[in-house]
Amino acid sequence: MKSDIPIVVAGGRPFLARLEPYLQPWGAVSCESPTLDSLLKMLKPARASIVLLSPPLVEQDYVEPLKNQSHLTVVYCIAVNTTPLPRYNLAAILTEVGLLTQGADAYLELLPCPQTAALIAAEHQLFQAYLEVAKRYLAQHCHLMTANDFLSSIALADPLTTLSNRRALEWELTRQIRRAQTQGTPLSLLVLDVDFFKAVNDNHGHQAGDRILQLLAQRLRNYLRRQDAVFRYGGEEFVVLLKNTDNEAAGAIAQRLRALIGDHPFAVDRDLHLTITLSIGVATFHMGDDREGRSLFQRADQGLFEAKTNGRNQVMNADQRTG
């Protein structure tokens, strides 16, 4: 009967002892009085999980972080009450309402101590029914996630360079800002623009211009770290998100990119090699910035404007105003 979807049960020792006979056949993993961080780490590798929580953990706001740990995972939470009040007592009803309001997907009551074999068997059946409902929900959700991943890969990709596009940037920037706020880690942003790109199209044709953008995208991928994300914002403009990167390090990365791009010509075809340069604006997230990233992007974009105005082929750090 062991489940192919991980099942985790979390609560105090009496709670775990009460549920153990019902969950052992399913291969459930028990966590005694876990911290939220330890529970998150346990669930992180799984794409889908069923979590049974004691009411105190639900009331301590464990559910929302478990459900929102990643867009790539889904968690089905069942609040299990092993010490319920009489079923139609007002306090019992309000307890159920509170647990569901705090994010639990289902609420299950067990008798404090079933006395007969028939009651024990009935509770086994009830447990199995709840877990089967959870498995059906997760299976359907994972199927939708797979379909959405495919559609998103099309909707969020730039067809010319195969980089992520502007829509993907808007989504990822919000997510990374939320991460920077909650974890207190630095986040920086670069806005890059190809200098005199119109002249490339005018002098060599749009096919040559497209090829330059494709080659530039490849170089950016190769030159940046694995943790960084690069996006084609539009036209000849690109954006780079630098996770765990403070302002000084972001400026150094921008200078390195500018030199690596400008010092090595692009082989458009066998007979045409072109040198291009970049102007780059740099900004780093501040706690006063908005959660959507508009103010962060605007500062980096202002840095780019200053780099263009001051002669191009340079880096302007909006948070330092130095080139």
Show which residues are catalytic: 236
Residue 197, judged by CB atoms within 10 A of its CB (0-12, 13-18, 19+), counts as middle
The pLDDT of residue 197? 97
pTM: 0.58
What domains can you pick out in the chain, each with its CATH number?
Answer: 7-154 (3.40.50.2300), 166-317 (3.30.70.270)
Residue 62, judged by CB atoms within 10 A of its CB (0-12, 13-18, 19+), counts as buried
- What is the amino acid identity at position 191? V
Q: Both tokens of residue 131? A: 């877990």
User: pLDDT tens, position by position, for the chain (323 residues)?
Assistant: 667 889 999 999 999 999 998 888 888 999 999 999 999 888 877 778 999 999 999 999 999 999 887 766 889 999 999 988 776 778 888 888 999 999 999 999 988 776 788 888 888 899 899 999 999 999 888 877 776 666 566 678 899 999 999 999 999 999 999 999 988 999 999 999 999 999 999 999 999 999 999 999 999 999 999 899 999 999 999 999 999 999 999 999 999 999 999 999 999 999 999 999 999 999 999 999 999 999 999 999 999 999 999 999 999 999 986 44
CA distance 195 to 278: 6
Residue 155 carries which DSSP code? H
The pLDDT of residue 120? 85
The pLDDT of residue 116? 85
Helix (H) or strand (E) segment spanning residue 268? strand 266-269
CA distance 127 to 124: 5
The pLDDT of residue 294? 96
The pLDDT of residue 145? 72
Residue 168 carries which DSSP code? H
Separation in Å, CA 311 to CA 277, 278, 279: 11, 11, 9
The pLDDT of residue 301? 97
- What is the amino acid identity at position 203? N
Q: Locate tokens 């195969």: which residue? A: 162
Q: Both tokens of residue 240? A: 């780079």
Give the three-class secondary structure for 189: strand
